[in-house]
Amino acid sequence: MPNELPTYTNHVVTGTDYSIMCCLDKRNKRLRVDDYKGNIDAITLRILELAKSHALTKIFIKSHENDWQSFLSKGWMLEGIYKGYFNGNDAYCMAFYDDLERRTSDYWLDEDHILQQVYTLPLKPDRPLVPAPLTLRMAEVQDAEPLAQLYSHIFQTYPTPMNEPSYVAKTMEEGTIYYLVQDQNQLISAASAEINVAYANAEMTDCATLPAYRNQGLMRLLMHALEEELIRRHITCAYSLSRALSFGMNAVFYQMGYRYYGRLTKNCDIYDKYEDMNLWVKPLT
């Protein structure tokens, strides 16, 4: 594998007794392992080598239920549980750090306080109406440029290059679906679902609303639209990683019936720093 790689690349790494599906994410200085098969000892050694060779300070792996305690016994930490991720079976988010600053959360107690505030809110499972004169629709490839402009406007930094129209278009071509809300011809709010067809799950992500249009229930509207499309496509598990410091996004998922299943420490560079991310999961029926 070459030393110099683009900032965000997916790989299949194989050995005599294992295979690993992973993402080398230089943008966020992390190695994300999405799936694997084979010898756990060999897998652990190989991903530690990969992270070190690319100066990545965090590794996290979606472990199968039979393996998470093996990772735990090797010094890894359980940070969250993706309920139903593997076609109804749970995935365990196991993390390993190679940097004390990356391992240490700066806002953990503040984030706990925000979570407790969220829990006082009423549930809102019903789909809201589209406020007049706004319109809701699924995005198409020609929407890639305005979507990229929206993300550039909202986020100073972001875990993936969503400010690049070519990248947004590429995610669409690879199966990610986007819904958006417009005020006449202006894009004002959007969200996406990144679908894993093999395991019947989807990550609800890329949530953004222009400041002038917030507190109108637009994100709940987008999430309902995405969920309905996912159910139509036989996806059974929806999950999201929300900024632990964001009251609004955590409130959206809690009120829509998602459950909190853990917090991933300094998981990605979003806005202007590495931030802790809350894991929310909901079964789709």
Domains of the chain: 8-103 (3.40.630.30), 108-283 (3.40.630.30)
User: What pLDDT score was predicted for residue 284?
Assistant: 97
Per-residue pLDDT tens over the stretch 172-199: 999 999 999 999 999 999 999 999 999 9
Per-residue pLDDT tens over the stretch 66-119: 999 999 999 999 999 999 999 999 999 999 999 999 999 999 999 999 999 999
CA 285 to chain centre: 21
User: What pLDDT score was predicted for residue 6?
Assistant: 58
Residue with tokens 């029926």: 285
User: What pLDDT score was predicted for residue 22?
Assistant: 97
Does 4 have pLDDT greater than 90? no
Does 1 have pLDDT greater than 70? no
User: What pLDDT score was predicted for residue 76?
Assistant: 98
**What predicted TM-score, i.e. pTM, was given to this entire model?**
0.95
What are the tokens at 249?
A: 């996004």
* Distance (Å, whole) CA 227 – CA 282: 10
Does 263 have pLDDT greater than 90? yes
Average pLDDT, integer, range 244-251: 97
In the three-class reduction of DSSP (H, G, I as helix; E, B as strand; rest coil), residue 150 is classed as helix
